[in-house]
Structure 1
Amino acid sequence: MGLEGRVGGKAWRMQLGRPTRNYILGEELRARAELNVRDEVAVLVMNRPLKEALEKKAYSIYTDQMQTSVDASLPEEMRWLAMFEEVGWEGPSEAFWDRFAVLTDRRENAVAWVDDKLAELMVAWPAPAPSAEVPFMVLLLRGKGYLRMEYSPADLSTLRHASRIFTACCESALKNIGQ
Structure 2
Amino acid sequence: MFERLKKVFGSDKPDAGDSAASDEAVSEWAGTRGFSFTGMGKGKGFALKGSVGNKPWKMERSSPSRDYIHGEELRARGEIKVNDDVTVLVMNRALKDALEKKAYQAYTDTLQTTADHNMPEEVRWLAMYPEVGWESLPKPFWQRYAVMADHRSHALAWLDPHLVELMMSWPEPSPDAQVPFILMVLRGKAYLRMQYTPADMPTLEHAALIFTTACESAIAGLSNDITL
Q: Is 2:149 aligned against 1:101?
A: no
Aligned to 2:56: 11
Aligned to 1:114: 159
TM-score by length of 2: 0.77
Determine which structure has more spread, i.e. the larger CA radius of gyration. Answer: 2
Q: Which runs of 5+ in 1 are unaligned?
A: none
Cα distance, 1:68 vs structure 2 = 2.4
Q: Is 2:73 aligned against 1:28?
A: yes
1:92 and 1:115 in contact (8 A); partners too: no
1:93 and 1:120 in contact (8 A); partners too: no
Match of 1:166 among 204, 207, 211: 211
Deviations 1:16-63 (A, max 9, x none): 001000000000000001111011101100001000000100000111
Aligned residue type for 1:93: P
Aligned to 1:157: 202
SS at match of 1:149: strand
Cα distance, 1:75 vs structure 2 = 1.1
Aligned to 2:186: 141
Number of matched pairs: 179
SS at match of 2:77: strand
Query: Structure 2: how far apart are the matches of 1:168 and 1:93?
Result: 19
Q: CA RMSD in A?
A: 0.9
1:137 and 1:149 in contact (8 A); partners too: yes
Which residues of 2 match residues 56-135 of structure 1 at below 5 A? 56-135=101-180
Cα distance, 1:91 vs structure 2 = 2.1
